[in-house]
Structure formats: C-alpha cells, structure tokens
Structure 1
Amino acid sequence: MEVAEMNDNPSDQKVKIDQESNILKNNPWIENLFEGVYTVDVDRKILYWNQGAMTITGYNSADIIRRSCFDNILDHVNEDGVGLCFDGCPLKATIEDGVEREAAVYLRHKSGHRVPVKVRTIPLRDREQTIIGALELFTENKDEVSIRNSLENYKRQSNEDFLTKASNRRYFLAMIESKIREFKIMGTPFGIAFLDIDNFKHVNDSFGHEVGDKVLKILTETIQSNLRKNDLLGRWGGEEFVILFSDVDSDGLMIASEKARKLVAASSLKLSDQYLNITISIGATLFIENDDCDSIVTRADQLMYLSKRSGKNKVTIG
C-alpha cells in the first residue's frame, strides 16, 4: 500500500502511517475479515486493529491502539516458549529489511492461555518506497487446533471434566485401555505424561479458589490447543493432569512433553495488578510389554515427583 507523498521526517511518517490505518479502518471488507489484521509504525506502535484480531485474541481496539506490540500484550513465543518480541519477531524484521515473512507462533490471549497462530507480515511504504511501518495478518493455526463438529462435542459431554473441559479420568483410562489393545495387536507405541501444577496450593491460599480454577482452565486451554489430533489431555484430579501421546518413541515423548511444559510456562493469568505465572512438573514414560493401565500411570506419576524434587518446572522421562 502507498500513501500521499510528503517529506521524510518522523512527523510526516507518522501522518502517513495514520492515513494508511484510517484507510483500513474505513474498509468494511478488511475490518470484518475472520483473520486478524493490525498495522504498526516503525516503532511497532499499533495503529489499527480489526474485528478478526479482537475475536482471536480477546483484546478490543481500546486495549491495543497506540500501545507497542512488544508491551507485554500479545507476547509472541515460539513452540519452545521462547519470547520473540525482541529477538526473532517477524514484524520487526520486516520493518528492518522490507521482506515479507510467514511464521507459526503462539500469542497470549487476553485470558492468559496460548493460541497457535500463523502470521504473515508485509511492509508498508510511502510513494518513495520508504518503509513507514508494517501490516500483520494472522489466523488460528488449524493444523495445531483440534477441530470437532457439534456431534462429536455432544458425544463427549459425558466424558469431559466439568470445570476444565479436559477428558475426565474415566474416559482417559478407557482410552489408555484402547491404546494397550492397539499396542498388542499392531505394536503401535504410545506414552503417558503425568503433570502437576507447581505451587498450586500457594495459588489457592494466596488468591482464592476462583483464581485457582482460572489457572486450571488456562493450563487446559494452552495444552489442548497445541496437541496433535490423536493425543488426549485428561484431568486426573485436583491440579493433576495426564496426557496420552499416540504413536511416539522416547525422543518424540520428550519433545512433546517439553513443548507442553514450555508453552504453559509462557502462559499467565492477568490479575488486577500483576501477571500470575504458571509452571508444571512432568513425568513421562512409554508403554512397555508387561505394562497395564495402572502400572504405566503409576510410573509416570513417580517420575513427575522426581521432577518436583529436582526443582520443579521440569520433565523427567523414564
């Protein structure tokens, strides 16, 4: 996109990018896209924010406009939970070199959980081809999100934990039994990760059970949004959860468990005057020949306690 010609000083650049943003704001096609669209100036201050961006992130334009995108808002991270705002930000790189980019990242929803998104960044230039900002288009990464139709949702209602909407313990155990049968017939490997929220009692004691419930929901939303289609998250009880990883070897189990740990650690719950960070300790193990449902879960549980005793916010494989 181009805007009217002006002198290339900072104030004129601001006028140009404001004009560009107003063009977008007055375009109903862009304003009502399902995809998120926003623009920034060269300092990455957000100047335009469409309805799609609000739907995906939970932030409305009043929350966002005139704030810097790196100002602890969307807080993009990669799949390892590493922050990208100051090192690795595709929007920043596009402003610097004018090259369009695409990336798969994870933004922080207003409620605190992580949302997988695909982003595309495009430079904004004036008529002299000077970069005056950038546009980012983003959409939920459907390759990372489990898509269930209404019939499947209806069938699963009786199998869900009421609070978190993760699978309940009964359904999860039934799925383990199914995987055991598959292993014995076809030799398909699978693994279990047993996880516990670190310092959860302190959260309940310090902030109350309502905040504790929100932490449980954020953890569930973050992990479920980033599981493969055939993996399953279940709530075991209290602050304990379990993940069933289908068709994995030892390396794959470690990678998947670490991904869950890092994404949870990169999530947080916004309180009135602070962000409450969340971490989990994980024990993970593969099903072996003589295992049954109880033995594999017990082994994963014991490995989780090794992670607790060795400092928390860790994964132990065994």
Structure 2
Amino acid sequence: MFEEGQFRKDILDNLFDGVYCVNKDRIITYWSQSTAQLTGFSAQEVVGRSCHENRVMYVDNWGHNLCEAGMCPAMKTMRDGILREIAVSYHHKDGHLVPAQARILPLHDKKGCITGVVEIFQDATPVLREREKAKELEDLALNDPLTRVANRNCGEARMEAKLNEFRRYGWPFGILFCDVDKFKQVNDTYGHDVGDLVLKAVAKTLSGNLRASDIVCRWGGDEFLVILPSIDLQTLSQIAEKVLRIIEKSRVTIGSGDDQRIVKVTSSIGGTVARLDDTVESLLKRADELMYRSKRAGANQAAV
C-alpha cells in the first residue's frame, strides 16, 4: 500500500494523531500504534478487515453511521480525490464515543491513480473541554453570579454596541434603570440571605416578562438595567409601567407556618431613549437622574 519514500512506518507509528489506511475495497491495510492507543483496537484486530465492519465506525453529530453506503467519507474521497476534513465521533473499544477531527486524503500509485485513502484523526475531547472552560470563564465574566443575568461589564458593552448600531443604521433603543425600593431595610430586617432572594426574584421577573430581544443586567447592589432595542419613547413608557407592576407583584416568602412572612418588593424606575450624541455615560446619567426623580416622588414609580 505504501510507496517507498511516501510513508515511513516508524514515523507514522510515533505521531500523536491516529493514522490508518484503507484500499479501494475498503480493507484496512495499515493501523498505526497511535491509532491503537486512541481507539483501544490493536492492528491485529483490524488490519485485513473491511472498514465498514470495523467496530471503530465513525458517526456524525446526529448519530448517523458514516460507514454505511453512500455516507462513507473515505469512499467519497476515493471517487473524487478531494481532501476532506470532518468532525466525527468514533467508537472506542470500551464502548464509549470519542469526539474527533478527521482528515481524509487520497493515496495514488505511480500512475496517479487513486488506490485508497489515508485517514488522520485526533481526539477532540481536550479541545471541547477547553471550549467548555472558555465558555464557563466567559459566563463568569459576563454574568452576575447571584442572579445569573448579565453583569455590569456586559451591560456597558451591549450599550456601546447598541449606540454604534444607532449611529450607523438608525436602529433606536432605550434603557430602563431600576432600583429596588427600601432594599437596605430588607437587609437590615431580614438579613442578607433574604436580600439575595429579593434580587433573584427581581432578576427572574424581569427576564421572564420582557421581550426576548431585551437585555437584563444587574448593575450593582440593588440596581438593574434593561436595554430595549427597537423602541420609541411611548413604548418605553408603557414597558416601564409594566415593569413597575410585575416587580410589585413579586414577593419573597420566608419562614413557615405561623412564622411565615411575605417580603413585598417595589422599584423606582428611570427610562430614556438613546440620542445620536449620547455616550454610554450620558445615557446612564439621564436614566439615573430620572430614577432618583421617581424615588423622590415616593418610590414605586417610573419617570421616562
């Protein structure tokens, strides 16, 4: 199967990637030591056997057996001579599926005719784990750990992006700045654990009752920011009133039996729509001032 100088078995056997070869009859003709280590199958168990009967069988991301007729990537490369790179999973001898990245290259004889393929693959598990870790770190960087909504860093970045879209495409947006009323009193009366429950309740209420395109952020302490794309002042005012009512209906129950108590929640809200000359700072300042106007007017109110 190997042309002199094309392959050297000692080199292939010491690669970290798995390497094996299949001829045009779909018979496995070479199985490297690294392939044996990655799959659990020795060369003695597979060489000379048909690849589509091989227990290593590739499956795609949907669980389809790629070794079946018409789906075999090796056969496709034997027909058209095109190098293929695919994400697959293979069956380990122990029975579990292992995610892998595979490359399939045609093999040629001295006349240039395709005689089979060489398949090179690597275990993608470490890569996927690194991606999962990166996603976890990203979530930690962008999400508030207590309420699981976006955090301040994420909110600032989203507002900057929305401002850029507004300037470039004319896509309007607005924000609501919400402050939980008498939150210090809740902490002082019931303790910080109950205060945390109040914040979680507000975050869940906001996330579950606004549009899918709206972005809820915990700004810090007892403050929440909502970014609302594609909105005008009238609609913003209506949503601000809605937010007031749904937060007012939120409540936290503590204790049980005769000791059961209900902690009621209200908020003060300031809302504004973006202007072309706005910065993140000016937009927030305007909403913050309107929120404090609501506080001074007696709380549980919205000013837009």
> Normalised by the shorter chain, which TM-score bucket?
0.5 to 0.7
The answer for the alignment partner of 1:280 in structure 2 is 267
| Deviation readout 1:241-266 (Å, 9 max, x if unpaired) | 11101110011101111111110101
1:157 to partner: Cα distance: 4.1
- Structure 1 unaligned residues grouped into runs of 5+: 1-149
**Alpha-carbon distance in structure 2 between the residues aligned to 1:267 and 1:229:** 20
Q: How many residues align?
A: 168
- Gap runs ≥5 in structure 2: 1-131
Taking the TM superposition and a 5 Å limit, the aligned residue runs for 1:4-43 are none
Runs of 4+ in 1 over 3 A off after TM superposition: 153-157
Shift in Å, 1:268: 0.5
**Aligned twin of 1:240:** 223
Matches within 5 A, 1:69-218: 156-218=139-201
Greater gyration radius = 2
Q: 3-state DSSP class of the match of 1:225? A: helix
Match of 1:123 in 2: none
TM-score (normalizing by structure 1)? 0.51
Letter in 1 for 2:150: S
Secondary structure of the corresponding residue to residue 212 of structure 2: coil
Matched residues in 2 for 1:156 and 1:174: separation?
14
Residue identity matched to 2:148: K
Deviation of 1:295 after TM superposition, in Å, equals: 0.2
Map Cα deviations across residues 223-245 of structure 1 (whole Å, 9 max, x no partner).
00112111101111100111101
Give the Å deviation of 1:267: 1.1
Q: For residues 215 and 231 of structure 1, what CA distance do their matches in structure 2 show?
A: 21
Between the aligned residues of both structures, percent identity stands at 39
Query: 2:270, 2:142 → 1: CA distance?
Result: 24
How far, CA to CA, are the matches of 2:146 and 2:263 in structure 1? 20
**In structure 1, what is the equivalent of residue 299 of structure 2?**
312
- Per the TM alignment, residue 298 of structure 1 is displaced from its structure 2 partner at its CA by 0.7
Distance 2:139 2:213 in 1: 15
Counterpart residue identity of residue 295, structure 2: K
Q: Look up the equivalent residue of 1:292 and give its one-letter code.
A: T
Supply the distance in 1 between the matched residues of 2:275 and 2:206 (Cα, whole angstroms).
25
CA distance in 1 between partners of 2:231 and 2:140 (Å):
28
Could you say which residue in structure 2 is the equivalent of 1:106?
none
Kindly state the Cα deviation for residue 161 of structure 1 after the two structures are TM-superposed: 0.5
In 2: Cα distance, 1:186 partner to 1:157 partner: 31
1:296 aligns with: 283
Q: Whose relative contact order is higher, 1 or 2, with alpha carbons under 8 Å and at least 6 apart?
A: 1
Structure 2 residue aligned with 1:222: 205
Q: Residue type matched to 1:236 in 2?
A: W
Give the alignment's TM-score, normalised by structure 2: 0.53
Aligned-pair CA distance for 1:156:
3.5
SS at match of 1:172: helix
- For residues 268 and 196 of structure 1, the distance between their equivalents in structure 2, rounded to whole angstroms, comes to 16
CA distance, structure 2, for counterparts of residue 267 and residue 181 of structure 1:
35
| 1:190-212 deviation per Cα after TM superposition (whole angstroms, max 9, x unaligned) | 00111100000100000000000
